[in-house]
Homo-oligomer: A and B are copies of this chain.
Amino acid sequence: MKSGRHFLQIPGPTNTPERVHRAMHRSVIDHRGPDFATLGAGLLEDLKAVFKTESRVVIYPASGTGAWEAALVNTLAPGDRVLMYETGQFATLWKNMAAKLGFDPVFMQGDWRSGANAEAIGAQLREDKAHAVKAVCVVHNDTATGVTSDIAAVRRAMDEAGHPALLIVDTISSLGSIDFRMDEWGVDVTVAGSQKGLMLPPGLSFNAISDKAMAAAEANGTRRSYWDWRDMVGPNASGFFPYTPATTLLYGLREALDMLAEEGLENVFARHARHAEATRRAVAAWGLEILCRNPAEYSNALTAVLMPDEKGADALRKTILDGFDMSLGTGLNKVADKVFRIGHLGDFNDLMLMGTLCGVEMGLNRAGVAYQPGGAQAAMDYLAANDLP
């Protein structure tokens, strides 16, 4: 029997606030009745601010994986070429999905330690004189590597190439944690999920859709039903959905949006940045290496840490889970057993972070990993000295 609270420090699902749990502990209401309309309309409106868009957001009762599929099947026709960038495991899975669904993904190779190379994307697009590429897909923050890509730079590269492709961005592990500006950055479709920066349990996912993307969807003949944006628009206008929504998760979303608004999105981002920097100071003090090569691309949502010998991450994670009741993220695919990932996103604060980092440090000790003590101390020094701006 373990006592006390589990530390859920995978990079999502994240720790859900009591307020969200309380909000969801409510009887279901008629999803065709007036109270629901008020709820639904408010959510659909207030979500826009989180995506920093003035266009529209649709909500799926589905995992983030479903929102990936929705983004593709609404905008792409069978056989359409789509340029995708290999930032890590989630970019890879998305690419696999595109192939399974009958599209033609061109996968630009990455090293799993860097963000999307905007210049390379621009070059590729400039070569595509025929505009065979219909969309560019980038993962804003690859949860497998802890690397954040510069979406504004990707948009600039597309514009400089004069290429009309849609820009589709996965923000599953960045939205509500790392600044994302859909309209300003010219993103056409944004993919998001409930279980990370939105501080909800998993079960909801989102597409935010530019007018250009919506027009593409209207003209697009790809067979689709559950994910079809066109069926959402009508009911959404009055706060309803074309099929039964996941009502209790929507209650939670209402509370989460209120919490983000109360704290202020920019404060939320600053909080995440502060915790991420403290984490990186700890990693440096331990003498360990961060997977992400380029400091400008460090993720503020999670930090992936390389094992000294490029192995043993899973044994370390097991030591920490068994000994200290903390879940850390595993290394995936190409970095399996080589990295462990520390999630520091969502409903989080300084002392939860320190509990987390101390758990890692004690785990390194117990698991016999070669490390230098002092990581938690370094993080503390940073936190104590740096108030939120």
The A64-108 residues at the B interface (CB cut-off 8 A) are: 64-66, 69, 78, 97, 100-102
The interface residues of chain B lying within 8 Å CB-to-CB of A202 are 28, 31, 61, 244-247
Kindly identify which residue among B25, B324, B373 contacts A25, using a CB–CB cutoff of 8 Å.
B25
The interface residues of chain B lying within 8 Å CB-to-CB of A309 are none
Q: Is residue A233 contacting chain B, with contact meaning CB distance below 8 A?
A: no
The interface residues of chain B lying within 8 Å CB-to-CB of A347 are 3-5
B224→A349 contact, CB < 8 A: no
A349→B248 contact, CB < 8 A: no
Which A positions have Cβ atoms within 8 angstroms of B? 1-8, 10, 12-18, 21-34, 60-66, 69, 78, 97, 100-102, 193, 195, 201-203, 223-226, 228, 242-249, 259, 262-264, 267-268, 271, 321, 323-327, 330, 347-352, 354-356, 358-359, 361-362, 365-366, 373-374, 376-377, 380-381, 383-385, 387
Given that A62-B226, A243-B65, A244-B65 are contacting pairs, would A352 and B6 also be in contact in the complex, using a CB cutoff of 8 Å? Answer: no
Given that A29-B8, A327-B29 are contacting pairs, would A223 and B102 also be in contact in the complex, using a CB cutoff of 8 Å? Answer: yes
A374 to B361, CA, bound (A): 14
A17 to B350, CA, bound (A): 21
B244→A195 contact, CB < 8 A: yes
A330 to B29, CA, bound (A): 14
A63→B64 contact, CB < 8 A: no
A349→B2 contact, CB < 8 A: yes
Tell me which of A3, A5, A195 has the highest count of chain B C-beta atoms within 10 A of its own C-beta: A3
What's the nearest-Cβ distance from chain B to residue A46, in Å?
A: 16
A90 to B248, CA, bound (A): 23
A274 to B65, CA, bound (A): 43
A162 to B330, CA, bound (A): 52
The interface residues of chain B lying within 8 Å CB-to-CB of A271 are 3
The interface residues of chain B lying within 8 Å CB-to-CB of A264 are 1
Closest to A321 in B: B33
A351→B325 contact, CB < 8 A: yes
A33 to B4, CA, bound (A): 18
Closest to A388 in B: B323
B27→A24 contact, CB < 8 A: no
Kindly identify which residue among B242, B349, B358 contacts A3, using a CB–CB cutoff of 8 Å.
B349
The interface residues of chain B lying within 8 Å CB-to-CB of A62 are 60-62, 66, 226
15 contacts between A and B (CB under 8 A): A4-B352, A5-B347, A10-B30, A13-B247, A22-B23, A62-B62, A62-B226, A63-B226, A65-B244, A201-B246, A203-B246, A324-B350, A361-B384, A365-B381, A377-B377
A354→B352 contact, CB < 8 A: no
The interface residues of chain B lying within 8 Å CB-to-CB of A21 are 25, 27
Given that A243-B63, A321-B33 are contacting pairs, would A7 and B351 also be in contact in the complex, using a CB cutoff of 8 Å? Answer: yes
A203 to B241, CA, bound (A): 13
The interface residues of chain B lying within 8 Å CB-to-CB of A17 are 3-5
A27→B15 contact, CB < 8 A: yes
What's the nearest-Cβ distance from chain B to residue A29, in Å?
A: 7
A225→B327 contact, CB < 8 A: no
A131 to B201, CA, bound (A): 46
Kindly identify which residue among B1, B12, B349, B365 contacts A263, using a CB–CB cutoff of 8 Å.
B1
What's the nearest-Cβ distance from chain B to residue A377, in Å?
A: 6
The interface residues of chain B lying within 8 Å CB-to-CB of A348 are 3-4
A245 to B62, CA, bound (A): 9
What's the nearest-Cβ distance from chain B to residue A23, in Å?
A: 8
Further pairs besides A4-B349, A32-B330, A246-B249: 16, Cβ < 8 Å: A3-B259, A8-B30, A10-B32, A12-B244, A21-B25, A29-B327, A34-B321, A60-B62, A61-B203, A62-B226, A64-B244, A69-B225, A202-B244, A350-B362, A373-B377, A374-B377
